Chain A
Amino acid sequence: MSFFKAENLSIQFGGVKAVTNVSFEVQQGEVFTIIGPNGAGKTTIFNLISLIYPPTSGRITFEGREITGMTPHRVANLGIARTFQNIELFEHASVLQNLLIGRHNHTATRLWQELLFMPSVRRAEIEHREAVEKVIDFLDLQHHRDSMVAGLPYGVRKVVELGRALCIGPKLLLLDEPSSGLNPEETDDMAFWIEDIKKDLGVTVLMVEHDMSLVSRVSDRVLALAQGEMLSIGTSREVQSDPKVIEAYLGKPE
């Protein structure tokens, strides 16, 4: 049984073939990166995994279970967390609240208990808080704990979003362009975190990324896409030297 598997995924938006016949497997414990020029269909693959769109054909399995066709919120409950390319945080809530929402799938309290704020709810809240504090320590977010997201600089928001995904306690983490919009220093931090997430937390990472130095630094395997189709799959070095990939990025030599 493979950990994560996408088989013959295709999706069309009207006439646009965003993803065509894409198949790949992610092994437990690796960092798997999808690269490709703008509009290649990378984010669309993530949206297919999050069940935001149903695929036109193909299927996705996670730990032997088919997820295509499930109700979308169940994906998180299975242990798949994600971040968004354009950052989708809860703007009018504090960083702490954002991270606590990441704990939603660990909720065990019932509505009537919450209305009365029974001791069990208070205990559960403190447990959630302890779990969240671990993530805060891991990502050095202590200073921003009580800040409203709406006022935070871009780089911090990116880290908060990563933290929120980690609070889910995921087995598989989807990161859509974790370094976009970050300065070189922040990108360096991000690379360290991705390495730690893999090594220390034992979380498998499926990532979309443009920054090739970050890609070669953290990825075990790389998949290159162009115009929705698979070009090449292998180690970062193999993929980067594949003539088809070079052609997709730079155009055909005359």
Chain B
Amino acid sequence: MRFLFKTDYDQDIRLFKDGVQMFWYALLGIVLLALPAVLPEYLMGQMVFILIYAIIGLGLMLLIGFTGQISLGHAAFLAVGAYTEAIMQAKGMPFVVSIVLSAVFAGAAGLIVGLPALRLKGIYLAIATMAFGFIAEEVITRWEHVTGGNSGKQLKQIDFFGIIIDNDTKFYYLALGLVVIILLGMINLMRSPTGRAFVAIRDSEISAQSMGIHLAKYKTIAFTFSAALTGVAGALYGHKLQFISPEQFNLLVSIEMTTLVFIGGLGSFHGAIFGAAFIIALPQLIVFAKDVLPPAIGQQTGLQPTVFGLILIGFLIFEPLGIYGRWVKIRTYFSLFPFYRRGMFKRQKSYMKSDRLK
């Protein structure tokens, strides 16, 4: 167990709390860079998916985990990003430009949807964004001369300043670089006034407002950023699959993306990454389990959604802080060993809160 003595305000501001933390992250960085040397190509492909989902997770974490606004229509922004990328690439635009445009277009779509939708709260916002998702899917299907309709669109390999991204290892490094850049930007935002305003809105709109926070403005910023990040992920997603069509961006995808942040752990960057890893690993584990389980269970149709649903419910009931919450507990257990008390993370009693401000 170690104590942190603070002697400077900057210690609460800088990226790493101390040398020890910096060491662990440096080690993680080295492991991530060395991964392609160890893992087979197939698993590198899965790693790419994890990184793409991590970008989605970070975008949604900003919206759901930090600002407290729900969305069930984010697949639409994934689509905007993917289609923008496909169309711009076909026009001969270089990748660095087209990926930025994917972010800009998806962000603009987020802005347009967010402005009216964010007047709504909770379940109403969920339904409004879901409706937007349906509309977007419909538009993609019908707008054939741009999107190719149901016959979809092909994407070529990424040309990154002359380097053709023609295998998963290269793709992995590209996606890893993007994740790191996005993560740094988000950490910066969250340690700045804007990030604090997000958290304030999440925890109490009424008092955020009385602190001078313009609710509509900050909610819209969060929604726009979240959509833009999902757009970036969409562009990569399109390249990874090399073919996109409307049904890849339906409601189920939106729901999967949103559950990612709940399973990973609301309100933490780690949560977005853990959630992404979980969402990608689960289907693999289920495929594996199918062969081991007795055929009566293993061959059932709908096994995957059922397991998925059960795990989500399990998390909501037993570990509302998600995988990240579990991780914090395990880490605390080891760092305090043998002084860990069972009741340590017991949920604190919440004081009464009324909507009526009586």
Mark A residues whose CB is within 8 Å of B.
Answer: 43, 47, 50, 52, 71-77, 81-82, 84-93, 96-97, 100-105, 107, 109, 111, 114-117, 121-122, 124-126, 128-130, 133, 150-151, 154, 157, 164, 168
Q: Of B13, B203, B358, which contacts A92 at CB under 8 A?
A: B203
CA of A84 to CA of B192, assembled, Å = 26
Assuming the A-B contacts A104-B211, A150-B348, are A125 and B197 also in contact, with contact meaning beta carbons closer than 8 angstroms in the complex? no
Q: CB distance A104 to B213 under 8 Å? A: yes
Is B210 interfacial (CB 8 A cutoff)?
yes
CA of A74 to CA of B210, assembled, Å = 8
Q: What are 11 sample pairs from A and B whose C-beta atoms fall under 8 A apart?
A: A73-B213, A86-B352, A86-B354, A88-B353, A104-B196, A104-B213, A115-B188, A122-B13, A125-B13, A126-B10, A154-B351
By a CB distance below 8 angstroms, the chain B residues around A133 are 9
Q: Of A76, A102, A115, A157, which contacts B351 at CB under 8 A?
A: A157
B interface residues, how many (CB within 8 angstroms): 39
Interface of chain A: mostly helix, strand, loop or mixed: helix
CA of A82 to CA of B358, assembled, Å = 14
Q: Of A43, A93, A107, which contacts B203 at CB under 8 A?
A: A93
Q: Of A76, A88, A97, which contacts B204 at CB under 8 A?
A: A88
Q: CB distance A89 to B212 under 8 Å? A: no
Is B50 interfacial (CB 8 A cutoff)?
no
Q: Of A52, A86, A107, A128, which contacts B353 at CB under 8 A?
A: A86
By a CB distance below 8 angstroms, the chain B residues around A116 are 185, 188
Is B61 interfacial (CB 8 A cutoff)?
no
- B204 CB to nearest chain A CB (Å): 5
By a CB distance below 8 angstroms, the chain B residues around A125 are 9, 13, 191-192
CA of A78 to CA of B275, assembled, Å = 43
Q: CB distance A84 to B193 under 8 Å? A: no
Q: Of A47, A115, A126, A164, which contacts B9 at CB under 8 A?
A: A126
By a CB distance below 8 angstroms, the chain B residues around A97 are 196, 199
Assuming the A-B contacts A93-B199, A121-B192, are A105 and B211 also in contact, with contact meaning beta carbons closer than 8 angstroms in the complex? yes
Q: CB distance A111 to B211 under 8 Å? A: no
Q: CB distance B207 to A84 under 8 Å? A: yes
Assuming the A-B contacts A52-B357, A104-B193, A117-B192, are A73 and B200 also in contact, with contact meaning beta carbons closer than 8 angstroms in the complex? no
Interface residues of B in 164-189 (CB under 8 A from A): 185, 188-189
Least CB separation from B9: chain A residue: A129
Least CB separation from A127: chain B residue: B9
CA of A105 to CA of B211, assembled, Å = 7
By a CB distance below 8 angstroms, the chain A residues around B189 are 114-115
- A19 CB to nearest chain B CB (Å): 14
Least CB separation from B221: chain A residue: A111
- A113 CB to nearest chain B CB (Å): 8
